[in-house]
Amino acid sequence: MKTVRSTSSAQLDEKTQPEEFDLVILGGGTGSTIAAWTFAGQGKRVAVIDRKYIGGSCPNIACLPSKNIIHSAKVASYFRRSEDFGIARDGFAVHMSGVRDRKRKMVSDLNDVYLENYKKTGAELIFGSGRFIDSKTVEVAFPAVSCAAPT
């Protein structure tokens, strides 16, 4: 069994009770999540520890969002050159807010799919920074939470 011991970054001296898992995965990228869902689906108690992103950086800030925006740029390029293909164009404009909203919706929809798979399989997603403190123990430092009142 792997143990996950939690610490709050605000109160590093105050430890919480360790939790036991069959498998602890550091980093929530595609390979990690598929492994987690597979093992959890087989009845194992699995935890995925990631600092920030559901599904890792690829579906959130890297691969997929950039491809989404590149696709919009290709469509704009085709439309801008439509007269080369005998297609008249009037009133062509790119609305970057629409491009951004399309990208954000894609990311949100992917996050929903990932969360549903975590829920369905029973794998646990833990947001924090994990590090090994011995051969079978991972310590997780949770991000600081701001308690300031909104201004």
Which amino acid belongs to residue 33? T
pLDDT at 17: 83
pTM of structure: 0.80
Asked whether residue 46 is assigned to any structural domain, the reply reads: yes
Asked whether residue 36 is assigned to any structural domain, the reply reads: yes
Q: Which domain holds residue 114?
A: 2-142
pLDDT at 6: 61
Asked whether residue 35 is assigned to any structural domain, the reply reads: yes
Give the domain CATH number at 93. Answer: 3.50.50.60
68/64 Cα distance (integer angstroms)? 6
pLDDT at 146: 64
Run means of pLDDT, 10 residues per run, the chain, 151 residues? 59 70 96 97 98 95 96 95 92 94 98 97 97 95 72 51
Asked whether residue 148 is assigned to any structural domain, the reply reads: no
Domain count, the chain: 1
49-53 CB contacts, 8 Å cutoff, 24+ apart: 49/4, 49/24, 49/25, 49/126, 49/127, 49/128, 49/129, 49/130, 49/138, 49/140, 50/125, 50/126, 50/127, 51/127, 51/128, 51/129, 51/143, 52/127, 53/28
